[in-house]
A and B are shown apart, each in its own frame.
Chain A
Amino acid sequence: MPKKYKSSSELKKRLWRNKLLYVMLIPGVLYFIIFKYLPMYGLIISFQDYKPYQGITGSEWVGMKHFSRLFTEPDFLNILANTLILFGMNILIYFPIPIILALMLNELRGTFFKRFFQTLVYLPHFMSWVIVVSISFVMVTMDGGIINELLAYFGFAKINFLLSPGWFRPMYILQVIWREAGWGTIIYLASIAAIDPGLYEASRMDGAGRLRQVWHITLPAIRGVIITLFILKIGSVLDLGFEHVYLLLNSMNREVAEIIDTYVYTAGLRQGQFSYSTAIGFFKSIVGLIMVMTVNKVSKKIGEEGVY
């Protein structure tokens, strides 16, 4: 918490003393101003019928027209529900996995194996979604995909993973886990590494086993990190990564796979309805903001630190 300064000269003195730190702050602040705050000016077009040639100043104002179109769109509830379900799966299924993985990696003895497995699990993060989706396409296709061939070999019926609405969500979350879980462990492993080894030694003296150590020392020590990451994750509630879902989307699974991001893409960029898609994006950001603020408040209420 910043202290109140008695006089402005004292403030100036402090600023001067830390001048280098402030200089280092400049690029960061500029980045946010130029790339995050200035573009907000563009949100204006969600209240206009934006015509590129006339620009923001020349386009006609239409008030909330685009927002009301969004909320009255017959598919809107469905799209919102799809988005929320995928988000829920991210939180309930994906979110705990890096934590568990980090705890497991931490229990590995011998730096070589630890490093090896850590590298192994985070490498997929560097593959683009196109590659991840193509690999799974090749594996699960009905036309000679290895999984379906195995199913057939063992006498089961082939499953149309790519085209059945029922398989879209499991495929989605499995791909997310495969690609991201290892990468997500890094920050947890770092915070585990920061735990005072003395704590473990003391607990061993008291006769605590491995599991007890994890439960009473490691987990409480990284609780703060978990909550911070959780709040940040909540902020991206309607932001699931357009590319991944778009690649999995097709005519047969649209009813479960169309999410806000893919809808913005089709309505906005493919069909040039700039104002409409800006309105959707605006709506998305507001929901995200409200969610972060709520969770942050709740987290402070129950005695944890928030992100701000």
Chain B
Amino acid sequence: MTKKSFTLLLSSLLTLSMLSACGGNNNKEAAATKDPGASTGTNTTATTDPATAEPEKPTEIKIMLPLNTTDTPPDTIKNEVEKLTNTKLTYQFFPADTYEEKLNSSFATGSLPQVTYLKNQTTFLQMKEAIKDGQFWEIGPLLSEFPNLNKLKPEILNNTKVDGKLYTLYIGRPLARQGIIYRKDWADKLGLKAPANTEELFAMAQAFTEKDPDGNGKKDTIGVVDRNELVYGAFKTVSSWFGTPNNWAEKDGQLAPEFTFPQYIDTMDFFRKLREGGYMNQDFAATSKTDAVNMFTSGKAGLYIGGSMQDIDSLNKDLIKNVPDAVLDTHSMVAGPDGKFAQWMIPGYNNVVLFPKSAVKDEAELKKILKFFDAMMTPEVANLMYWGIEGTHYTVVDGKAKATDNKELIEREVKGFKDSVIGEYETNGMYQSLNVLPGRIHAEELVLENVKYGVADPTAALDSATYTSKGVELQQIIADATYKYMYGQLDKAGFEKEVENWKSRGGAKIIEEYNAAYKK
């Protein structure tokens, strides 16, 4: 009998592991192919758009966009949006992790839907060639017909132009929201203040490692936790504090890339010393974002640098599960060795929307789709998509939106749409968030403060054909060399040799092209 039950156990284990193995590979696929449109039960024809007098047939729109959560959201929000905008929407969500692949393969097979969200600035740069090739609709001349779209900020629209023409709508983000999220309880215990300059930052990392801030008598904590990402990890943020330019800056009257500046080397030295001293995670070049966040929220690390300071809410939520009396705070005013403040800035958007000509047949159809986006720029629709349904997902307190405490509900039903709202609260009139966490309130102040010391990327609106076709590939050379330097495997001469390598393989041409465009 025992033998039988044991085989049963084994075989059920086997089936289970098979299922989970299949599931592991397929759930993304399944989530992606689930047709959200199929389950719409609402009778959209019955509802009339309050703005228009005569009932119009709802516009059918297919939208492809990246999904930053694990599951495709249900139709709750979508149904409401359809009612408000007189549309019939089909959302195709694809996991953000593999979105580039999806984007490129859909593009290669000519199957992009009418509305295509890109993933970030990098994917936008890669699309530039195709945009110049005339594969997407130009929308610049039409904007004036749409009163709400017309409110989008011209300076940010300008940053998204290709050859001086506008093809995209942007999803707005604060210009500079990066900084430090740190363990205030540890700092208080050790008598440390928020670091005023890079030296104090180093000292804090050192103290968090060596002075047993969690008080368990063991040397089991580290200062900084970082991950395998030079831009949105700690590196770029710290490098801007050191005074490194934002990607490009003028040097001897010519635009030159950031890694040719001495401050870039200083930053690498900073991280090299941090790593050698054991004040940061040793495997940061191979650490994923998830692992880095886990290290921080498990109470092992004290400083989380880079990324958005607004992430403090979610970090705090997970941290206090593990360490109930932990206190977090944010900080971003870290002066460089010369005593000056600086923060790198994004060009004001984190993603854009394109309208492929292969899916949008004519200008009339394009206008119908733009009408939907115009409606999305009204407070009513923007709030719905960004915050969810009032009373269910959020409540309004003091004219600000207070998200429900049920974070999982928001994550599941709202987050997918939240990331697709174009513009920002100044332009689409949606509620600002009501923050309760002191660290988050502090973060919002710092975001505004950051802009005062913001450093813009002078190439944001410039074009380089070589950069568009080979830039990302070439950047890998620099990224590899940067990591090797920080791990002590390259010295300054070795790093400079890699920069020469970058130049010889196309970098020199990029410099030339950017300078030519800059002079214009």
B436 within 8 A of A: no
Pick the contact of A127 from B17, B281, B283 — CB < 8 Å?
Answer: B17
Q: Are B7 and A115 interface neighbours, CB within 8 A?
A: yes
A128 within 8 A of B: yes
A137 and B21 CA atoms in complex are apart in Å by 19
Closest Cβ of chain A to B281, distance in Å, is 5
- Which residues in B have their C-beta under 8 angstroms from that of A268? 104
Closest Cβ of chain A to B210, distance in Å, is 16
* Contact size range, A: 35 or more
A233 within 8 A of B: no
- Which residues in B have their C-beta under 8 angstroms from that of A127? 17, 21, 24
A284 within 8 A of B: no
A267 and B101 CA atoms in complex are apart in Å by 11
Closest Cβ of chain A to B132, distance in Å, is 11
Q: Are A52 and B7 interface neighbours, CB within 8 A?
A: no
Please choose the segment from A11-19, A198-206, A224-232, A249-257 that sits at the chain B interface, where 4 or more of its residues have CB less than 8 A away: A249-257
A269 and B472 CA atoms in complex are apart in Å by 12
Q: Are A250 and B228 interface neighbours, CB within 8 A?
A: yes
Q: Are B483 and A251 interface neighbours, CB within 8 A?
A: yes
Please choose the segment from A211-219, A270-278, A294-302 that sits at the chain B interface, where 4 or more of its residues have CB less than 8 A away: A270-278
Within 8 A of A (CB), among B290-305: 291, 295, 300
A160 and B483 CA atoms in complex are apart in Å by 14
A86 within 8 A of B: no
B13 within 8 A of A: yes
Given A128-B24, A163-B286, residue A269 in contact with residue B104 (CB < 8 A): yes
Chain B 10-21 against A: per-residue CB contact (8 Å), 1 yes, 0 no?
100110011011
A163 and B228 CA atoms in complex are apart in Å by 11
Q: Are B100 and A55 interface neighbours, CB within 8 A?
A: no
Q: Are A269 and B480 interface neighbours, CB within 8 A?
A: no
Q: Are A55 and B479 interface neighbours, CB within 8 A?
A: no
Closest Cβ of chain B to A144, distance in Å, is 8
Q: Are B282 and A142 interface neighbours, CB within 8 A?
A: yes
Pick the contact of B286 from A116, A128, A252 — CB < 8 Å?
Answer: A252
A127 and B21 CA atoms in complex are apart in Å by 5
Within 8 A of A (CB), among B54-107: 100-101, 104-105, 107
A271 and B484 CA atoms in complex are apart in Å by 24
Q: Are B13 and A143 interface neighbours, CB within 8 A?
A: no
Pick the contact of B479 from A119, A251, A274 — CB < 8 Å?
Answer: A251
Closest Cβ of chain B to A250, distance in Å, is 5
Residue of A nearest to B20 (CB): A126
Residue of A nearest to B504 (CB): A74
B109 within 8 A of A: yes
Q: Are A160 and B283 interface neighbours, CB within 8 A?
A: yes
Within 8 A of A (CB), among B472-506: 472-473, 476, 479-480, 482-484, 487, 489, 505
Residue of A nearest to B505 (CB): A74
Given A53-B358, A141-B283, A251-B285, residue A269 in contact with residue B110 (CB < 8 A): no
Given A116-B10, A127-B17, A143-B281, residue A52 in contact with residue B286 (CB < 8 A): no
Q: Are A143 and B222 interface neighbours, CB within 8 A?
A: yes
Within 8 A of A (CB), among B331-377: 357-358
Pick the contact of A123 from B14, B109, B476, B483 — CB < 8 Å?
Answer: B14
- Which residues in A have their C-beta under 8 angstroms from that of B101? 269-270
Q: Are B108 and A52 interface neighbours, CB within 8 A?
A: yes
Q: Are A162 and B286 interface neighbours, CB within 8 A?
A: yes
Closest Cβ of chain A to B471, distance in Å, is 9
Q: Are A112 and B3 interface neighbours, CB within 8 A?
A: yes
Closest Cβ of chain A to B511, distance in Å, is 19
A114 within 8 A of B: no
A65 within 8 A of B: no
A250 and B476 CA atoms in complex are apart in Å by 11
A130 within 8 A of B: yes
Within 8 A of A (CB), among B108-155: 108-110, 126, 130, 133-135
Residue of A nearest to B17 (CB): A126
Residue of A nearest to B275 (CB): A142
Q: Are A123 and B13 interface neighbours, CB within 8 A?
A: yes
Residue of B nearest to A243 (CB): B25
Given A160-B283, A251-B228, A269-B100, residue A52 in contact with residue B107 (CB < 8 A): yes
- Which residues in A have their C-beta under 8 angstroms from that of B21? 126-128
Pick the contact of A130 from B24, B222, B484 — CB < 8 Å?
Answer: B24
Within 8 A of A (CB), among B453-485: 469, 472-473, 476, 479-480, 482-484
- Which residues in A have their C-beta under 8 angstroms from that of B482? 251
- Which residues in A have their C-beta under 8 angstroms from that of B130? 51-53, 272
- Which residues in A have their C-beta under 8 angstroms from that of B281? 142-143
A30 within 8 A of B: no
A266 within 8 A of B: yes
Given A123-B14, A269-B104, residue A143 in contact with residue B472 (CB < 8 A): no
Residue of B nearest to A252 (CB): B285
A58 and B516 CA atoms in complex are apart in Å by 32
Chain B 228-263 against A: per-residue CB contact (8 Å), 1 yes, 0 no?
100000000000000000000000000000000000
- Which residues in B have their C-beta under 8 angstroms from that of A123? 13-14, 17
- Which residues in A have their C-beta under 8 angstroms from that of B134? 53
Closest Cβ of chain A to B38, distance in Å, is 26
Within 8 A of A (CB), among B376-417: none
Closest Cβ of chain B to A60, distance in Å, is 12
Q: Which of A53, A116, A142, A254 has the most CB of B within 10 A?
A: A53
Q: Are B487 and A252 interface neighbours, CB within 8 A?
A: yes
Residue of A nearest to B291 (CB): A137
Chain A 50-64 against B: per-residue CB contact (8 Å), 1 yes, 0 no?
111101000000000
Residue of A nearest to B301 (CB): A143
Q: Which of A50, A52, A160, A271 has the most CB of B within 10 A?
A: A52
A131 within 8 A of B: yes
Given A52-B135, A163-B487, residue A250 in contact with residue B285 (CB < 8 A): yes
- Which residues in B have their C-beta under 8 angstroms from that of A141? 282-283
- Which residues in A have their C-beta under 8 angstroms from that of B107? 52, 272
Q: Are A271 and B126 interface neighbours, CB within 8 A?
A: yes
Given A141-B283, A269-B104, A270-B104, residue A53 in contact with residue B17 (CB < 8 A): no
Q: Are A131 and B133 interface neighbours, CB within 8 A?
A: no
- Which residues in B have their C-beta under 8 angstroms from that of A51? 130, 133, 135
Q: Are A53 and B357 interface neighbours, CB within 8 A?
A: yes
Q: Are A251 and B484 interface neighbours, CB within 8 A?
A: yes
- Which residues in A have their C-beta under 8 angstroms from that of B105? 269
Q: Are B357 and A270 interface neighbours, CB within 8 A?
A: no
Other than the given A160-B283, A272-B130, 12 more pairs (CB < 8 A) read A51-B130, A52-B107, A123-B13, A126-B20, A127-B21, A143-B300, A163-B487, A250-B285, A252-B484, A269-B105, A272-B107, A273-B469
30 A-B pairs with C-beta separation under 8 A: A51-B130, A52-B107, A52-B110, A52-B358, A53-B135, A53-B358, A55-B110, A74-B505, A127-B21, A128-B24, A128-B25, A142-B282, A142-B283, A143-B282, A143-B283, A143-B295, A163-B285, A163-B487, A251-B285, A252-B286, A252-B483, A254-B480, A267-B473, A269-B105, A270-B100, A270-B101, A270-B104, A270-B472, A273-B469, A274-B108
Residues of B within 8 A of A (CB): 3, 6-7, 10, 13-14, 17-18, 20-21, 24-25, 100-101, 104-105, 107-110, 126, 130, 133-135, 220, 222, 228, 281-283, 285-286, 291, 295, 300, 357-358, 469, 472-473, 476, 479-480, 482-484, 487, 489, 505
Q: Which 10 A-B pairs have the closest CB atoms?
A: A142-B282, A251-B483, A126-B21, A53-B135, A162-B286, A126-B17, A251-B480, A128-B24, A250-B286, A269-B101
